[in-house]
């Protein structure tokens, strides 16, 4: 494919904005970049005319939950939850117990429709369906392959439904990792981690078993200190804080993702930095759950690779960027907090480096020769000068997702001129509505039984 007549936003180590360029894609990677007048079509090469739109790398989501899709619009019986532990008990735990394998499939598909429409081409998912564990990661992988994006998958191991289900969750992770190793054709498309819910739902025995059975070259994906109840529980169980406890069991490391880290202290931050553990920040979720704001600016200064996810909110990742920029100013009552370079460091550069780590060296998140052909076209008409220096503020105050006209991943068109190519959005939405209604009925029965 040759994409011509576009203005490039390259990101990369030195971001550039290059007008009137063409991009040649071959074997799922960027083969050439050059002026449109010089980069001419080859015989039988598909040509896509960008008509002056901006071409920029596809967005990356460093932590999400596809399975939460059917929570949209769902009423929680009784009084509203007062704090995050009650949100888990009243919403997320009964919801994930209400899913069967086809619900898992369609909750993934609706999120993937959303990702393609909003230019998000790589996602790191964390899954739970306690009554449909075996094969659940295969179902999600099939949906990812159908959509055409990239994803890292795992199943959430937890003791909250008993030791048998904890073991079943671990075995689902290990089975999926083994299957991936037998399928080299999916290298750079699918990857896997061992999922852990959170310290507060994991016993010492389960943590030790996960560590003992997980291959040394595989990381973990775990919620960490999202609410101070996680720290209280860890202190009561072990006499140590959450990150110290995870470190004791060998869970931290350069492949492991620690999600949220809202209530970690300085010692825990040092452990995260020294172990090269990834941390992901999800400001929309943190605001919604009223759990506080992680000290991500301090973490970045300490050398922690803080990335940006969405925790199951929409895959419109620019919305997460904007939330990160604004929420910290309000939280600290200081307009100097969370400058544009900080959220770009998380959302662009650190997210891209995480993808390289999780996908066997794949170079994503930039437009350069040899990088993954994951990109989007954005129909943005700036009303003030747009430069590499002021680009973050154009994205914050000018860009919106409706401007994304075309999404390409692995060198293939997933959406062209706002029309999805790989997924039937109307059919998926129709089936999801039917399935969600039944999920809600099963969810409500759990409250009646309780």
- pLDDT band for 448, please (50, 70, 90 cuts): confident
Q: Is 32 helix (H, G, I), strand (E, B) or coil?
A: strand
Q: What is the pLDDT of residues 210-242, one digit of tens each?
A: 999 999 999 999 999 999 999 999 999 999 999
> CB of 54 within 8 A of CB of 378?
yes
Structure tokens at 50: 């960008």
> CB of 299 within 8 A of CB of 342?
no
Domain boundaries, the chain: 2-58+366-420, 68-358
Among 3.30.70.260, 3.40.50.450, 3.20.20.140, 1.10.1510.10, what is the CATH number of 68-358? 3.20.20.140
Q: Is 124 helix (H, G, I), strand (E, B) or coil?
A: strand
Please, what's the b/e burial string for 341-360 (b: 16 or more CB within 10 A of its CB; e: otherwise)?
ebbbbbbbbbbbbbbebbbe
CB-based contacts of 235, cutoff 8 Å, min separation 6:
241
Considering the domain delimited by 2-58+366-420, tell me its CATH architecture.
Roll (2.30)
Q: Is 262 helix (H, G, I), strand (E, B) or coil?
A: coil
CA dihedral angle for residue 218, residue 133, residue 112, residue 25, rounded to 10 degrees: 40
Outline where DSSP puts E strands in 278-318.
278-281, 306-308
- Tell me how far the alpha carbon of residue 193 is from its chain's centroid: 13
CA dihedral angle for residue 222, residue 75, residue 313, residue 224, rounded to 10 degrees: -20
Q: What is the mean pLDDT of residues 87-98?
A: 96
Among all chains, which residue has been given the structure tokens 């999805």? 420
Q: What is the pLDDT of residues 370-417, one digit of tens each?
A: 999 999 999 999 999 999 999 999 999 999 999 999 999 999 999 999
Please, what's the b/e burial string for 278-292 (b: 16 or more CB within 10 A of its CB; e: otherwise)?
bbbbbbbbbbebebb
CB-based contacts of 342, cutoff 8 Å, min separation 6:
296, 297, 300
- Asked whether the predicted pLDDT for residue 292 surpasses 80, the reply is yes
- Asked whether the predicted pLDDT for residue 1 surpasses 90, the reply is yes
User: Are domains 2-58+366-420 and 68-358 of this chain identical in fold?
Assistant: no
- Asked whether the predicted pLDDT for residue 41 surpasses 80, the reply is yes
Q: What is the pLDDT of residues 132-184, one digit of tens each?
A: 999 999 999 999 999 999 999 999 999 999 999 999 999 999 999 999 999 99
> CB of 362 within 8 A of CB of 355?
yes
pLDDT for 12 = 85
How far apart, in whole angstroms, are the C-alpha atoms of residue 379 and residue 375? 13
Mean predicted lDDT score pLDDT of the chain: 97
- Asked whether the predicted pLDDT for residue 311 surpasses 80, the reply is yes
DSSP state of 418: T
- Asked whether the predicted pLDDT for residue 120 surpasses 70, the reply is yes
Q: CA-based Rg of the chain, rounded to a whole angstrom?
A: 21
- pLDDT band for 274, please (50, 70, 90 cuts): very high
- pLDDT band for 449, please (50, 70, 90 cuts): confident
pLDDT for 450 = 65
How far apart, in whole angstroms, are the C-alpha atoms of residue 323 and residue 206? 36
CB-based contacts of 44, cutoff 8 Å, min separation 6:
none
């Amino acid at each position: 494919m040759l994409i011509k007549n576009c203005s490039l936003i390259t990101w990369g180590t030195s971001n550039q904005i290059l007008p009137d360029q063409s991009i040649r894609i071959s074997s799922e990677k960027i083969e050439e970049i050059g002026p449109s007048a010089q980069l001419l079509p080859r015989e039988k090469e598909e040509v896509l005319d960008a008509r002056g739109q901006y071409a920029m790398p596809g967005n990356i989501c460093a932590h999400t939950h596809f399975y939460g899709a059917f929570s949209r619009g769902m009423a929680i019986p009784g009084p509203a939850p007062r704090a995050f532990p009650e949100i888990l008990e009243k919403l997320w735990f009964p919801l994930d117990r209400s899913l069967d394998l086809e619900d898992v499939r369609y909750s993934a598909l609706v999120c993937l429709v959303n990702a393609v429409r909003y230019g998000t081409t790589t996602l790191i998912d964390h899954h739970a369906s306690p009554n449909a564990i075996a094969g659940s990661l295969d179902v999600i992988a099939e949906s990812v392959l159908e959509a055409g994006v990239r994803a890292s998958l795992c199943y959430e191991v937890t003791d909250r439904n008993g030791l048998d289900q904890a073991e079943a969750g671990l075995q689902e992770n290990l089975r999926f990792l083994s299957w991936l190793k037998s399928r080299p054709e999916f290298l750079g498309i699918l990857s896997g981690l061992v999922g852990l819910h959170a310290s507060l739902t994991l016993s010492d025995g389960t943590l030790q078993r996960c560590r003992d059975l997980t291959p040394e070259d595989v990381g973990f994906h775990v919620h960490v200190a999202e609410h101070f109840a996680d720290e209280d529980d860890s202190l009561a169980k072990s006499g140590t804080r959450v990150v110290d406890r995870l470190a004791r069991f060998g869970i931290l490391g350069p492949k492991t993702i620690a999600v949220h880290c809202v209530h970690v202290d300085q010692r825990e931050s040092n452990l995260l930095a020294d172990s090269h553990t990834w941390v992901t920040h999800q400001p929309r979720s943190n605001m919604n759950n009223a759990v506080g704001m992680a000290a991500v600016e301090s973490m970045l200064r300490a050398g922690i690779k803080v990335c940006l996810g969405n925790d199951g909110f929409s895959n419109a990742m620019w919305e997460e960027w904007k939330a990160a920029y604004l929420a910290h100013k309000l939280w600290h009552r200081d307009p100097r907090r969370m400058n544009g370079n900080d959220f770009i460091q998380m959302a662009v550069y650190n997210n891209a480096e995480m993808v390289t780590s999780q996908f066997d060296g794949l170079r994503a998140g930039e437009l350069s020769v040899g990088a993954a052909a994951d990109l989007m076209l954005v129909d943005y008409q700036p009303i003030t000068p747009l430069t590499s220096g002021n680009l973050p503020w154009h994205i914050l105050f000018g860009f919106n997702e409706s401007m994304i006209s075309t999404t390409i991943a692995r060198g293939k068109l997933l959406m062209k001129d706002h029309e999805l190519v790989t997924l039937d959005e109307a059919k998926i939405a129709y089936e999801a509505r039917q399935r969600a209604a039944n999920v809600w009925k099963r969810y409500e029965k759990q409250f009646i039984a309780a």
